[in-house]
A = this chain, B = another copy of it.
Amino acid sequence: KLRGEHDERSLVFADLTREEYWQVQQYMLKQKDLDISTRQLTKPSENFLFLIDLHLPKKADVLNYLDAKGAKPAREATVVVFYGAKGYVREYVVGPLPNPTYHHDVTKQRYNADLPITARLVTIGEYALLFELFETKVFSKLQKILKESFGVNEKRTLNAFEQMPRGVRSGDRKTWISFFRDMDGMYIHLVGFEVLINHQHLNASLWTVDRLMYNGKYYNSVEELQQAYDTSSVNKIVYKETPDYGSLKPRTKPLQIGPQQYYAEGKRYSVQNNHVLYLDWSFAFGLSALTGMRVFDVRFKGERVAYELSVQEAMSMYGSATLGMIITKFLDSSIGIGRFAHELTRGVDCLDKATYVDTYRYSDIPAPRFQNSICIFEHNMGQPLRRHFADFFHHSYGGMVNSALVFRTVTAIGNYDYLWDFIFYQSGSVEAKVHATGYITSSYLVAGSLKHGHQVAENVLGNIHTHFISFKVDLDVAGVKNMFQTKDMEYVNTSLPWMPEHFSMVPQLVEKQLKTEQEAALRYGTKIPRYLHIASKATNRWKHNRSYRLQVYSFSGDHLPESEAEERSMSWARYKVAITKHKDSEQTSSSLYNQNDMWTPAVDFSKYIEDNESIENEDLVAWVTAGFLHIPHAEDIPNTVTVGNGGGVLLRPHNFFNEDPSIHSADSAFFRPG
């Protein structure tokens, strides 16, 4: 019953298969001169194959393939190797799949610089050594404190969670580790004990415990803390049982189940490989281990409206009175947003009847299966998409319910769970939305804490923080050659034609074209025109430029001042919307390395617009920032709710069509009351 047909060419955007990950891994291992290990517990001083991911072909090659019957672009992978033995990180393009014959070092080409080894992610191998260090250099020496203050015994341990960045300047790898009770929702079960580990050396035996924090006071060494504790010169924390307030276990017996959705006549969408058909829509999809969910070649009635719509980065920045959290700035794409797209729960995360898709990713761990990690479903939004009841002259009713396709992943990166939605409406709009839920990050309540948040549980401060999300929106409006237009209103004092002596302030339409990247970098905190359009010179039937409008939903807080050294690693967050000329070399607004080298970021988005290129009659990309300021409150315990905690961007046709395309929907209803 579907209108369109699936297209196998969508596979050009498909994530690597399990088999392909294996082929690339084996190829890399065969390069004996590279001396690469894929052992899970590879040490920082060794060379580790960290990541294998799809290398997207050049856009021009893909368009040639899709639109001009050109050759299928070679299928290639990106490989990231942490060369601990050599002190740098390298990125390769490996191809062609399925039988690789080449690997090109593309590090310099991609980043215009070498990547220092200190910019790398902490691998499972490095974490294993860190945990070993806690045991040997901290826990074993502080058994008395741990027992008396935190109830640690053979059955009861403490859990760890780290703050980032790991220091204050390039090369630093000094991480504040907070300790938590081993309970559900540990993130809100701080015990008041933290340690600063310097793990910059590639040789783990040279790692040091640089500082400790116990109940708000700082100590230079384990011995100093122990001595202070023994001489009773500390304000001792005395262990007591804590209520299980972080638990998500139901506290009420089920009464009766809530509303359910069903497809009486079957699904109106279809998923084949990575290609989705839904009424007039079609698109290809993928899930990057680093940046997460993305769709490509989005078409409505067969016409492409977007080449790419993707998540780029999720950043949060915290305020705190004490501890490592003072400087905490998380850049999740460095840890891997897509990496943490776990199994979705039927009937809770997505509709029970949704289509669930398995994914595979090679990030630290060689390509495990993530079952049901993408869901796709059509949802009855519970309101009309449009309707009119005519009461005057003509009595009639016309309308249609708003049923739309939802494409979703949920990524649980430590404490927070981000719900990512791309929604396809029958009116030709596409929405990219994010909601935050899961546990807040918290700190142990000490004097001065309340300047940075609210108390939310016993001894627990919910710290003020910002959420900023970066989306990439590569609209192609009637082809790739586009321009950037803005529209707004202004009042103009106008004489009335039938009584010229009388003046009224009358709203006028103000249209502008912004012609360079810097003009079109629209900063938060400045007056931004209300309507933002990616437009074509092509016009619709009424001679208006065909366009898609970007409508940004955001409640974001203030961006970090640019004077801060860390700011360049997140410079995309300055802009509500920034428009760049498309380049294959400017694929992402952030990078795998931005978190651990915030001070010399591998990708500084602001550089994309520094050359101030023309954006007239060019292939344009819109980079959109949405988010919200989060001042945690008691109702964030145990979990932040999605309602009100989100943001996104709605892409709406604006003179793109000649009329609302939903008028052709088979869901339209019409009648004349008797």
Contact = CB atoms under 8 A, between A and B. Distances in A.
B509 A351 contact: no
B389 A412 contact: yes
Nearest to A541: B634
A476 B340 CA distance: 42
A583 interface: no
A253 B666 contact: yes
A218 B633 CA distance: 62
A368 interface: no
A656 interface: yes
A21 to B, nearest CB: 21
B542 A383 contact: no
Nearest to A254: B666
Given A656-B635, A663-B638, A629 B399 contact: no
Contacts of A185: 388, 390
A72 interface: no
Contacts of A643: 385, 402, 425, 427, 429, 431, 650, 652
A85 B253 CA distance: 67
A305 interface: no
A258 B401 contact: yes
Contact of A251 (B254, B664, B669): B664
B644 A660 contact: no
B437 A386 contact: yes
A560 interface: yes
A509 B660 contact: no
A668 B494 contact: no
* Max chain B Cβ within 10 angstroms of own Cβ: one of A320, A531, A643: A643
A465 B262 contact: no
A403 interface: yes
B259 A261 contact: yes
A50 interface: no
Contacts of A634: 540-542, 544, 655-660
Contacts of A345: 387, 397, 399, 669
A364 to B, nearest CB: 13
Interface stretch (A8-16, A98-106, A115-123, A454-462): A454-462
Interface in A345-371: 345, 347-351
B505 A563 contact: yes
* Max chain B Cβ within 10 angstroms of own Cβ: one of A250, A490, A508: A250
B642 A657 contact: no
B639 A435 contact: no
B669 A250 contact: yes
A213 B496 CA distance: 13
Interface string A154-185: 00000101000000100000000000001111
A558 interface: yes
Contacts of A499: 168
Contacts of A652: 635, 643-644
A275 interface: no
Nearest to A439: B388
A319 B488 CA distance: 12
Interface string A297-324: 0000000000000000000011110100
A92 to B, nearest CB: 29
24 contacts: A168-B502, A186-B393, A248-B663, A257-B265, A259-B262, A319-B507, A319-B509, A340-B391, A343-B673, A381-B382, A386-B642, A387-B410, A429-B644, A431-B643, A450-B509, A452-B509, A464-B509, A488-B629, A505-B560, A530-B555, A542-B634, A633-B655, A635-B660, A637-B660
The 6 closest A-B pairs by CB, nearest first: A248-B398, A319-B507, A256-B265, A250-B668, A258-B403, A455-B542
